[in-house]
Amino acid sequence: MNDLIQTVAVYALPVLFAITLHEAAHAYAAKFFGDNTAYSMGRMSLNPLKHIDPFGTILIPILLYFATSGAFLFGYAKPVPINFGHLRKPKRDMAWVSLAGPAANFLMALLWMIAIYALALGGVQEEFFTLMAKAGVLTNLVMFAFNLFPIPPLDGGRILTSLLPNKYAYKFAQIEPYGFFIVMALVLLKVIYTWWMAPVMYGAGLVLQLITYPITLLFN
């Protein structure tokens, strides 16, 4: 129980930011490209309560934490409602709207990484804040990689649908009703993490290190 409380304390803020800005980014991009559905429903918001799903965001992760002794966690927020038919160029704009969420997570990972350096440069001794910043980097890299997996309804699946020729895009999009179950099966078999998430997270981490390299020079 003490481990759970400590884990929740460290990850609570990073996870709330990661989920909230991910979903709000989808809503903002949809509005930018012509669909006001999410905006009219109040989902273009930084209020976490607008995006939290009691079952997917709270109950499932807690149950999985105890069921697997913390070895496996999974959760999700309420999907932002998007009417792709309202976009100015639906097939093209679907890719940008879908990419907005993972892009927000990558940006947040960068900001949390900068926070780690800022804490070190500021001489902050409280370990809790460093752990939280590291949790912020990890949480956002996980969301970035997972959501880019190319199976609908994940963002990567919709991006791939947008890029495929119309004939193949239509057939590929028909996977979506079964996509959640396909993804869950691949998660449980550790296929997604081993063959997709780990390499993508590693590559994204290298890019973050490259971007923040000038900051590291301050430590030399």
Is residue 92 within a helix (H) or strand (E), and if so which, with residue range?
Answer: helix 90-121
| Residue 113 CB coordination number (10 Å) | 22
Burial category of 61 from C-beta neighbours within 10 Å (exposed 0-12, middle 13-18, buried 19 and up): middle
Catalytic residue flag (residue 126)? no
**Which of 23, 126, 127, 176 is the catalytic position?**
23
| Residue (of 88, 90, 108, 109) closest to 98 by Cα position | 90
Q: What is the largest CA-CA distance in the chain?
A: 58
| Residue (of 21, 12, 11) closest to 50 by Cα position | 21
Question: Active-site residue numbers?
Answer: 23
